[in-house]
Structure 1
Amino acid sequence: MTSSLDGLLFAPAADPEGGEVGTSTRFAYHERDGRIWAEYSGGAIERGHLVGTRDGDRLDFRYVQLRRDGGTSGGHCVSTVVTLPGGRLRLEETWEWESQEGSGTSVVEQIDG
């Protein structure tokens, strides 16, 4: 299993098709005893939260977000934690909306705070 996500910041590597987060969105992760959670904001997202579990290098979580236009949305995501050369982490994600139609994939990578 790769190192803890606790206290790490992540940003999307690209704007995911069909998603609402973008390259200006920042995710602040926390982890304790197999539980993960994060706060995020930036771009079209005013405020977002995710909560879930970690089993090895697999994350399974639900997310909910408030957009800057006042709308809300949420869904389910499964991510794989990958260690990049140099030690930074990448989350390779497969997600699906539960509040609307659509699904997709995305990649977020660890950034310096």
Structure 2
Amino acid sequence: MPRSLDGLVAAPVADQAPGQVGTSTRFAYHERDGRIWAEYEGGDVAQGFLVGTREGDRIDFRYVQLKIDGTTSSGHCVSSVVELADGRIRLDETWEWESQEGHGTSVVEEVAPLT
């Protein structure tokens, strides 16, 4: 199993549609006993949270976010955890909104922690 996500800081490698996460969004992950959670913000997202479970290299979570325009949205995501050749972690994600129309895929990769 790839290493723990506890303490991982990650960012999307590409921007999504307006009002969604993008390259300036930062995710701060936590992991304990098969549970995964994270806080995220940046770009069009004022504040977001995700919570779910991890089994091996598979993460299944729900997310909810407050956008800078004051609207909220929520959805579901399944991610594969991949350890890159340079030791960083990548999450290959398949997501769908539950509060609105839309679905897609994205890639989130480990970045240097913010100080």
1:1-113 alignment, distance < 5 Å: 1-17=1-17, 20-113=20-113
Return structure 1 stretches of 4+ with deviation > 6 angstroms: none
Does the 8 Å CA contact 2:14/2:23 hold for their aligned counterparts?
Answer: yes
Q: Please report the RMSD computed on the Cα atoms of aligned residues, expressed in angstroms.
A: 1.1
Distance 1:105 1:9 in 2: 19
| Partner Cα distance (1:97, 1:18) in 2 | 14
Residues matched between the structures, number:
113
Report if aligned partners of 1:51, 1:62 keep a CA contact under 8 Å in 2: yes
Amino-acid identity (%): 72
SS at match of 2:101: coil
In 2, Cα distance between equivalents of 1:15 and 1:72: 19
Alpha-carbon distance in structure 2 between the residues aligned to 1:12 and 1:89: 12
SS in 2 for 1:21: coil
TM-score, structure 2 length as denominator? 0.96
- Taking the aligned partners of 1:56 and 1:88, their CA distance within structure 2 comes to 17
TM-score, reference length from structure 1 = 0.97
Kindly state the Cα deviation for residue 96 of structure 1 after the two structures are TM-superposed. 0.2
Gapped runs of 5+ residues in structure 2? none
Distance in 2 between residues matched to 1:111 and 1:82, nearest whole Å = 14
CA displacement 1:1-31 (0-9 Å, x = unmatched): 1000000100000013477000000000000
Q: Is the 8 A contact 2:62 2:75 kept in 1?
A: yes
Q: Which 5+ residue runs of structure 1 have no aligned equivalent?
A: none
Aligned-partner residue type, residue 63 of structure 2:
Y
Q: Which amino acid aligns with 1:33?
A: D
**Deviation per CA, 1:43-97, whole angstroms, max 9, x where unpaired?**
0000000000000000000000000000000000000000111110000000000
Residues 1:88 and 1:20: Cα distance change in structure 2 (over 3 Å): same
